[in-house]
Structure formats: C-alpha cells, structure tokens
C-alpha cells in the first residue's frame, strides 16, 4: 500500500508552506497533493510557487498532484483552473465537475477528489471514460458499500484512495463561515482564517466536538483515524492511504509513523496523540463519529 498526503486545507503563510513541504520531501511518502482547494482568496502561494515545491518533491522521488478548487464562483477561478490543467508536469486532482470537463477537453488524466459524487459502478465507468485514473473515495462510503465497486475499479485500472487520517471534509458553501464567525462580510474577510492553523472548532451545547470551521468548508470536529486498520484497507483493495494535513508537526509525525508501519509490514502504527479526538465509524458502516480501536 502507498501513502498520499492531501493538499493542506488551511490557510498558511508562504514560509509555513515552504518549510512544511521541505520536511515532507525528506519523508518516505509516495504521493503529495499541492494547491489551494478551499478558497481562491488565499493567495499566499502562486501557481508557480506550487510548481516549484512540486519540482522539489519530484526530485526526491515523490509523485506530485496539483489539486483544484472544490467550489468555483468566478471567471478568474476558472482561468486559474485552466492554467493548472495546461501544465504538463504533474497529474491533476479534479475537485469539481468544471475541472473534470477542462481536463477531459485537454485530454489530461485526473484523480477525482472526494467531493466528486461517485457511489456506484455506473458513475465509476463514466468518470473513467472522461479520464479518471484515481478515485479518492468519499469519506462516508464504508467497506460494505465498496465491495461491489472495488472489483469494477480494478477492472478499469482505476487506483483507489481512502482517507486514514485527518479531519473529514463534510460540506462546502458559498458563504464563508470564518468571516461570519468574526462578523465580517465575505468580500472583506481580512483573511481571518490565516489566524487558525487548523480552523475553528465548533462544539454542541453539551460541549461535544461537532465540526471545524475552515472558511467555506465544514470539516468533522473529530479526526478520522484508520491508521491501525491499514492492512484491512489494503486487503479490501485500497491502493493509497490518504493523510489529510493538520498542524505541520503532527502531520509529519503521522507520515513517519505510517510509512514505518507499512514498510515494515507492522499492523500497529506507533502514533499516539491524546490531545485530539478520533473517529472512524464510516469505514465500519456505523455513524461517522464512532471510533473502533
């Protein structure tokens, strides 16, 4: 089984991104996704900046994938998407249908992000015809849901990717929840999300973890954690264990622990962080917030 690192979903400074990926380059991870997927107003990094980081990672033997936005709302965002597709060095992660259309018209293969609604063999075949070479499976699909679909993906030669760590992407909206939280209009948000390395936690009235605000994205409050079940995912036919970044240091620790476990074929991943709450119920066909050890 290979390991992939999703694009950072949060808004960091350019030096923070550069330092993080410099350290990622020195790990044994197989594939790294780069780019802004949540909000086009986050402009600390240009496309050329991402390509330069991609070249660094590629020089260290990593496969690099450039990720696209999940919700496009302006012509300028579509033009930026076209530039991502036009570059020929790296695979594309298409996170909405416009990216799939542009990639298909350009004859470019793509990895389908987990915001793309693929839930059955008919959809899988359709997107494969459009150029999909890898499928990042939606987090709500469990092992029983996937049993009829995995053989079809293998028949088509579509690689399968499943999230094993990180906050789950639950929803996207044209409204910016971070701006709303600070009583600011979206168009004058003052880039408040830069103040939150992992977004803003939201609790229920009873004090339980509920969600994480990240600009226009709503994430799960608890982190999905299937690290100790990676062999089960591999046996089911999953090709890539996907890590969604949290804070830089914690993310690097997870990468190191998981790569060590897989490379040594150890079922237990030597990683513990008691400061966080975890869940993995979806894989086990349960409520997503449940946790199976």
- Helix H segments across the chain? 14-25, 47-59, 75-86, 97-105, 121-130, 143-146, 150-156, 177-181, 230-236, 248-263
Residues in the chain: 293
How would CATH label the architecture of 2-167+223-276? Alpha-Beta Barrel (3.20)
Return the ∠ at Cα 97 (arms to 142 and 8), rounded to 5°: 65
Write out pLDDT tens, residues 156-167: 999 999 999 999
Q: Say yes or no to pLDDT of 144 above 90.
A: yes
Read off the tokens for 91: 């695979």
pLDDT at 164: 98
Write out pLDDT tens, residues 27-46: 999 999 999 999 999 989 99
pLDDT at 274: 87
Average pLDDT over residues 122-146: 97
Average pLDDT over residues 12-35: 98
Q: Say yes or no to pLDDT of 240 above 90.
A: yes
Annotated binding residues: 39, 176, 189, 193
Write out pLDDT tens, residues 160-211: 999 999 999 999 999 999 999 999 999 899 999 999 999 999 999 998 888 9
Tokens 């330069």, residue located: 52
Average pLDDT over residues 106-135: 97
Annotated binding residues for [4Fe-4S] cluster: 39, 176, 189, 193
């Amino acid at each position: 089984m290979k390991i992939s690192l999703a694009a950072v979903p949060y808004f960091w400074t350019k030096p923070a991104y550069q330092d993080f990926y410099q350290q990622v380059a020195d790990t044994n991870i197989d594939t790294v996704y780069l780019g802004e997927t949540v909000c086009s107003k986050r402009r600390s990094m240009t496309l050329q900046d991402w390509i330069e980081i991609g070249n660094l990672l590629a020089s260290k033997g990593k496969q690099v994938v450039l990720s696209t936005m999940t919700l496009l709302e302006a012509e300028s965002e579509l033009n930026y998407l076209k530039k991502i597709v036009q570059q020929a060095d790296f695979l594309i992660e298409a996170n909405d249908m416009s990216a799939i259309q542009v990639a298909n018209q350009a004859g470019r293969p793509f990895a389908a992000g987990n915001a793309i609604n693929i839930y059955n063999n008919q959809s899988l075949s359709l997107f494969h015809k459009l150029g999909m070479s890898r499928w990042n499976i939606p987090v709500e699909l469990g092992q029983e849901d996937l049993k009829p679909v995995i053989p079809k993906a293998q028949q088509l030669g579509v690689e399968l990717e499943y999230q094993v760590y990180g906050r789950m992407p639950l929803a996207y909206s044209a409204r910016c929840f971070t701006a709303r939280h600070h009583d600011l209009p979206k168009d004058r948000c003052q880039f408040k999300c830069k103040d939150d390395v992992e977004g803003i936690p939201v609790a229920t009235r009873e004090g339980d973890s509920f969600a994480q605000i990240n600009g226009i994205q709503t994430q799960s409050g608890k982190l999905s954690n299937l690290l100790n079940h990676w062999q089960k995912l591999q046996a089911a036919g999953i090709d890539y264990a996907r890590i969604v970044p949290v804070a830089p240091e914690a993310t690097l620790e997870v990468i190191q622990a998981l790569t060590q476990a897989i490379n040594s074929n150890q079922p237990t991943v030597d990683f513990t962080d008691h400061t966080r709450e975890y869940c993995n119920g979806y894989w086990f066909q349960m409520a997503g917030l449940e946790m199976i050890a």
